[in-house]
Amino acid sequence: MQTRTLTDLIRFDEDAARTEVLTETANLWSQVICLQGAQSVGPMLDARAEGLVVVLAGEVASQLGKARTRLKQWATLTIPAGEELTLKNASPDPAVVLLVLSPPPAAEGAEGAEGGTPAS
């Protein structure tokens, strides 16, 4: 059994969004994304993986395909396979997001992966 504490993964970088892989198995992948200022990640797309975004802190603007919405702390967003996702900090305060994908994202350049894999 592997356990981790999410707060150990929360770190911010002045230059760009910071990401840390939380877990990676054959069937599941998750990443903590830390955004501050006007930082963003994406667009990200994986033709095979379905996903879940959970806002742990702050507020983010999301674009899923052509649809846009704001997500506040504890809000979730389901990502259908093949939909392009972009996340951007939407407040003066830092934001922390948990991104979960299943199956794990395709390797960059692999069949089905377009526009890169989730933030790295």
CA gap 40, 85 in Å, rounded: 11
φ, ψ for residue 33, nearest 5 deg = -115, 125
User: What domain range includes position 93?
Assistant: 25-102
Q: What is the pTM of this model?
A: 0.85
Q: How many domains does the chain have?
A: 1
Coil, helix or strand at residue 8? helix
**Token reading at 118:** 């989730």
The predicted pLDDT at position 104 comes to 92
CA gap 20, 8 in Å, rounded: 10
Tell me the pLDDT of the chain (120 aa) as tens digits: 788 899 999 999 999 999 999 999 999 999 999 999 999 999 999 999 999 999 999 999 999 999 999 999 999 999 999 999 999 999 999 999 999 999 998 765 433 333 444 554
Domain membership flag for residue 78: yes
CATH (domain of 59): 2.60.120.10
